[in-house]
Structure 1
Amino acid sequence: MKKIKVFTGIMAVGLFLTACSSNDDSENTQAIESGYNLEHIHGLAYTKDDHIYLASHKGMIHSKDQGDNWYYTGNVDFDFMGFHVQSDGTMVTSGHPGPDSDLPNPLGVMENKNEGKDWKSKSLLGKVDFHILTSNQSNPNIMYGIVQMEMGNYKPGIYKSADKGQNWERVNATGLPEDLHGIYSLISLPNDDNALLAGTDIGVLRSQNGGETWEIIDNARLITAINTIPGSKDLISYSVTENDAGIMISKDNGSTWQSIGLNLGQDAAAYIAVHPEQTEKLAVVTFENNLLISEDGGQNWETLMEEGSLKN
């Protein structure tokens, strides 16, 4: 789980990461009754059939009707960490098995191709917990992951896969924060699978060589959540600066940003999802477990969940 506090004038940031669909909802799903409260949201997805997915400490849920009804997704109770949806619709995650699972801990990289129903081990089962995973929009075979704590033979650092998560190599990186818990967001730029952007507690960092060397391109901005806009080279983020905060768009690989609104004040977005075909449809989950959606490119927003409490 990621938490943030933003103070007016001078910004202080603390990050804590804790381990701690098909069109037929009748298969492997169960309706969620009113009163359900969701905690520790670790991921967000918006699929082409208008389903919204929330990955959490206690499994995954989804809604197909803008939050009026929610369903448990699949039959796993994973503690989803590093949850990410690739441009071809494949869901990937890391994290920990739930109490009803007999899988080794941690999960390594798990993969799903039917919107959360059936998960299969891709690699590193029992060896690694990636708290952040991302892949390139144009070439989803290229993946990057962040290991923030030493795990056996796997040291903290950025890891890269060139075969969709089957094999991983640690990148000999320089310029990242000394404490990798200070990395909030990571994106592989859609026009260059060797170029990366990271939102960190020391500013916005960029790498042009697959994560080997990093330079600060903006030391006055914190990017807590970032994604690509499908079918384009544009980036969308939640950015915090001394004078502004909100959803912002960049058309130049993160060098400059244009605000489109949704200043959340003392809260901030932890995850942003964009509909893969109707890109004016956006979804945001905040650090305080609020879920908001927009159907007009961010001009107006509707709240579907407040502090983990579903509106149904």
Structure 2
Amino acid sequence: MKMLKTITPILLVGVVLVGCNSNEQTTEPTKIEGGKKIEHMHGLSYQDDTIFVATHEGMISTSDKGESWYTVSSHDNDFMGYHALSNGEMITSGHPGKSSNLPDPLGLLKSTDNGITWEEVSLQGKIDFHILDANYSNTDIIYGLNQMGSGKYGAGIFKSIDGGENWDKIEPVGLPDDLHKIYTLISLPNNDSELLAGTQNGVMRSEDSGETWELLDGNRLITAITVMPNESKDLVSYSITQDEAGIMKSSDNGQTWDYIGLDLGEVAVNNISINTDNNNLMSVTTFNNSVYVTEDGGGNWKQTIDAGTIK
């Protein structure tokens, strides 16, 4: 694989980081001044034309393609596993911030107002999901990856069929024993029981809701994956092979991939989001806390946050 020995350590640092208390709080949305350092970008989404980024000190957003950034609310939680559902709701896990009285870990939280307020849904004090994915076509089906611990709420894949109220634990067979070696996970939009996982061993596939896994592509490293929000429901990923790296699209559930752009060399993408109304608008975050946006479907990209620093 292309530059795998140099990329992998960066990925592992990005995946295993856990939450810590925030050092700065705000009481309502405020503009973030240039030079401010943003740490640990754990998730990304478009809501209309606004880009939201989940960090370890709360949510930030931009409505002008990264020219200016704002805090979303006073919530300073470490939002791990952040994921935006196709119905516009947001879900997250993680750890409470300094201003929060929520239990640690957060379990599953949900927001229906673009991250201004959060509702406790389930598993408070029990699980910190580092990866969450709701099926694009049926948002009641949610998969969560807990990478640490043992027992009922320990390491494994968890599945909910009722929007996160109740969960069944799956102890996957065939995945790496160390679940920190999983970088991304997606439930395919045309079959909610079929999953793809980007792992250190390559791309893996499950056809039984994550119970058993087989290697789909051992020559490809996928570090982020999402669904193209249109009728095609193609998959879009950050994909690395021996020959190329960058944003790629698959129309056959990950069997083959077509290159779009954005080869970042030794730093890989950890989140991808695509605007629902205009698929030419895309954004990504990286494992070194940079943000890039494109307005032409991925041909040209502009960096709006550089290694965590607001420009």
Tell whether the structures are fold-level matches, with TM greater than 0.5: yes
Match for residue 193 of structure 2?
Answer: 194
1:244 aligns with 2:247: no
Which of 30-39 and 96-105 deviates more?
Answer: 30-39
Structure 2: which amino acid aligns with 1:261? G
CA spacing shift, 1:242–1:253, aligned 2, 3 Å: same
The alignment partner of 2:260 has SS state of strand
Match for residue 45 of structure 1?
Answer: 45
Is the 1:10–1:242 contact (alpha carbons within 8 Å) kept by the matching residues of 2? no
Note the residue ranges of structure 1 that are not aligned, 5 or more in a row: 1-5, 21-26
Match for residue 259 of structure 1?
Answer: 259
Q: Report the Cα distance in structure 2 between the residues aligned to 1:69 and 1:298, rounded to whole angstroms.
A: 21
1:211 aligns with 2:210: yes
Residue by residue, what CA displacement relative to the aligned partner does 1:23-74 show, whole Å, maximum 9, x if unpaired? xxxx9312222221111111111111x1111111111111111122211112
Match for residue 164 of structure 1?
Answer: 163
Matches within 5 A, 1:1-312: 8=3, 13-14=8-9, 15-16=12-13, 17-20=16-19, 28-48=28-48, 50-150=49-149, 153-231=152-230, 232-311=232-311
State the TM-score, normalizing by the size of structure 1. 0.92
Q: Report the Cα distance in structure 2 between the residues aligned to 1:12 and 1:220, rounded to whole angstroms.
A: 15
Q: Report the Cα distance in structure 2 between the residues aligned to 1:217 and 1:77, rounded to whole angstroms.
A: 39
Alpha-carbon offset, residue 172 of structure 1: 3.6
Structure 2: which amino acid aligns with 1:182? K
CA spacing shift, 1:127–1:151, aligned 2, 3 Å: farther
Residue by residue, what CA displacement relative to the aligned partner does 1:206-250 show, whole Å, maximum 9, x if unpaired? 111111111101001110000000123200000011111000000
- Report the number of matched residues: 299
Structure 2: which amino acid aligns with 1:8? M
Which of 202-211 and 67-76 deviates more?
Answer: 67-76
Residue by residue, what CA displacement relative to the aligned partner does 1:117-175 show, whole Å, maximum 9, x if unpaired? 00010100111100000011000100000011116641211110000111111014211
Q: Report the Cα distance in structure 2 between the residues aligned to 1:77 and 1:279, rounded to whole angstroms.
A: 31
Is the 1:95–1:131 contact (alpha carbons within 8 Å) kept by the matching residues of 2? yes
The alignment partner of 1:185 has SS state of strand
What value does the CA root-mean-square deviation take over the aligned residues? 1.6
Match for residue 24 of structure 2?
Answer: none
Is the 2:2–2:241 contact (alpha carbons within 8 Å) kept by the matching residues of 1? no
Q: Report the Cα distance in structure 2 between the residues aligned to 1:63 and 1:8, rounded to whole angstroms.
A: 32
CA spacing shift, 1:93–1:9, aligned 2, 3 Å: closer
State the TM-score, normalizing by the size of structure 2. 0.93
Structure 1: which amino acid aligns with 2:278? Q
The alignment partner of 2:120 has SS state of strand
Q: Report the Cα distance in structure 1 between the residues aligned to 2:37 and 2:236, rounded to whole angstroms.
A: 28
Q: Report the Cα distance in structure 2 between the residues aligned to 1:139 and 1:57, rounded to whole angstroms.
A: 28
Runs of 4 or more, structure 1, over 2 Å off, are 6-14
CA spacing shift, 1:116–1:9, aligned 2, 3 Å: closer
The alignment partner of 1:46 has SS state of strand
Match for residue 22 of structure 2?
Answer: none
Is the 2:7–2:268 contact (alpha carbons within 8 Å) kept by the matching residues of 1? no
Q: Report the Cα distance in structure 2 between the residues aligned to 1:121 and 1:296, rounded to whole angstroms.
A: 38
Match for residue 3 of structure 1?
Answer: none
Q: Report the Cα distance in structure 1 between the residues aligned to 2:182 and 2:131, rounded to whole angstroms.
A: 9
Q: Report the Cα distance in structure 1 between the residues aligned to 2:17 and 2:206, rounded to whole angstroms.
A: 27
Q: Report the Cα distance in structure 2 between the residues aligned to 1:12 and 1:137, rounded to whole angstroms.
A: 29
Note the residue ranges of structure 2 that are not aligned, 5 or more in a row: 20-26
Match for residue 23 of structure 1?
Answer: none
